[in-house]
Structure 1
Amino acid sequence: MELKIYQVDAFTDHVFGGNPAAVVPLTTWLDNDTLQKIALENNLSETAFYIIDGERVLIRWFTPSIEVDLCGHATLATAHVLFEHEGFEGDNISFFSDRSGKLSVSKKGDGSLELDFPTDQLEKVDMTPTFTAPFQPVPVEAYKGKSDVILIFENERIIRTLHYDLHKISLIKARGVIVTAKGDEVDFVSRFFGPMVGVPEDPVTGSAHTSLTPLWAEKLNKEKLNALQVSHRGGVLECELKGDRVFISGKAITYLIGNIFL
């Protein structure tokens, strides 16, 4: 069996920036073990697999160790592949995930792509030693969403220079830990750590912004926000809160096209 594979840098306009994702088109689902082995072999934070099913596109996302409920940058990468390489006609792609329901990606006039994702539901929780132990300095507020823990710090400088212990982060019961603060020149900055799902630090995490957008929209009293994920590679995201949906925009660029031989 031979499969096509793309590698796309998402939330950036240049290669070696943003967050790399693998995208594998399928005509029928392979068994879960094979999908997981492909993701492990790729050794990227996410590999997306998709099947065109009539007017919608079925999509699944795998880290090197598990299948996850939602991934923004790999969905953006998949849309880029469909628009730029796989002959998809039109300006809007309707995705469907068994784990996250209806999603969509649309072309924007500036060349970026806009994700339409469900808003995360957040709950403010008490600061516990489990949340403070991995970090120096320590966070000042804590929230829990559906999948992740969100920790707020005093300023952007702390996020950029944060000292952390990945083993202690892995003891937090969540898909990942988002650290965030108000930005100096943008509305907010963040980083994402997911050692519990095989991703020590994710360069740019679209799904995390389904949590960050409603959080900072309330704190800053605005619905449109500019965001930076300040990992080593970094990424730029434009976010907008509309009721129970979050719109997240960014660009993507193809790095690699190849073949998988099974």
Structure 2
Amino acid sequence: MRIRIVDAFTDRPFGGNPAGVLLLDAFGDDAWMQRVALEVNHAETAFAHRLAEGGETDWALRWFTPVAEVRMCGHATLATAHVLHGTGAHEGPVRFATRSGVLVATPRQDGSITLDFPTAPLTEVEVPAGIAEPLGAEPRRAFDTGPDVGDLLVELADEKTVRALAPDHKALGAHSARGLIATARAEDPSRGYDFVSRCFFPNVGIDEDPVTGSAHTALAPFWSERLGSTVLTGLQASPRSGRVGTELRGDRTLLSGRAVTTIEGELLV
């Protein structure tokens, strides 16, 4: 079967967040899919298969990190939609059946793809005691992002602080279910982005995720309230880097970006 590596939330190879994508006739055994994800060894590997026509969804979709299945993944959903459209396996909007409900990916004329995801419910919580040392900075505020995302979102003093983080990943994992989202307002919005973030997910085998679509379902409502706009652009300031367009629509958040296929080959097992 064909396997592809797609760089998501970028318009250039070797940027954004790489994801493995496999289009199947049906889902394989869970243990087999987990072994494939470990072999691919990127933040996520997506497995998708076509569903019967006439239903509410078109394709079933699941995502695995090298060590665990996750409930929601933005960049691997974008990567899967990119493969479906690029290979002609599907035309127009794709309705994915996932553990997080129905997720829709819509291709745009400019080559980008827009994802329709549930908005993460934010609940302010006390800044966890002792988090400043493993994170490497003192958060101003902290928010729980709900069960689908499962992260702790923390606001830091400024963009420079976010960019300079060098956390103790093992110790950081004690402070959330999946991981931690660190964010700050952009120092200079004229550069084309409104806020910055970095995401650390040691509990699912990802020390730092290059660009995280699911995190932006929490970042969008957080920054929309503070910046007074429902349409924003986030820069995830990882070493690979990538931009995510966000549009807040109440209980749904639209995430927009591009993708590039960098590797295509044959999975022999």
TM-score (norm 2): 0.93
DSSP 3-state at the match of 1:116? strand
CA distance in 1, matches of 2:61, 2:32: 16
Distance 1:130 1:172 in 2: 9
For residue 51 of structure 1, what is the aligned residue in structure 2? 49
Shift of 1:19: 0.4
User: Secondary structure at the residue paired with 2:39?
Assistant: helix
Encode CA deviations 1:39-88: one digit per residue, 9 max, x unaligned.
Answer: 00110000000011034110000000000000000000000000002432
What is the SS of the residue equivalent to 1:134? Answer: helix
Structure with the larger strand share: 1
Corresponding residue for 1:105?
105
Residues 216-257 of structure 1, C-alpha deviation per residue, up to 9 Å, x if partnerless? 111112100011000000001110001110001000011011
* 1:230 equivalent in alignment to 2:233: no
CA deviation after TM superposition for structure 1 residue 159, in Å: 0.5
Distance in 2 (CA, whole Å) between partners of 1:213 and 1:54 is: 34
Is 1:180 aligned to residue 183 of structure 2?
yes
Look up the match of 2:131. Answer: 131
Q: Measure how far apart 1:163 and its partner are.
A: 3.1
RMSD of Structure 2 on Structure 1 (CA): 1.0
Who is 2:6 aligned against?
8
How far off is 1:29 after superposition? 1.3
- Report if the CA contact (8 A) 1:137-1:163 is conserved: no
- Give the counterpart of 2:65 among 49, 63, 69: 63
1:43 maps to a residue whose letter is: N
Name the residue aligned to 1:214: 221
SS at the partner of 1:164? coil
Amino acid aligned to 2:52: G
| 8 Å CA contact 1:133, 1:168 repeated in 2 | no
What's the counterpart of residue 89 of structure 2?
Answer: 87
| Percent of aligned pairs with the same amino acid | 45
Give the alignment of 1:109-258 within 5 angstroms.
Answer: 109-146=109-146, 147-184=150-187, 185=189, 186-258=193-265
Instruction: Output the CA distance in 1 between the equivalents of 2:88 and 2:3.
Output: 12
Distance 1:259 1:130, change over 3 A: farther
5+ residue gaps in structure 1?
Answer: none
Decide whether the 8 Å contact of 2:128 with 2:175 is kept in 1.
Answer: no
Q: Any idea what the Cα deviations from partners look like across 1:190-223, whole Å, max 9, x if unmatched?
A: 0000111000100000000011101111111210
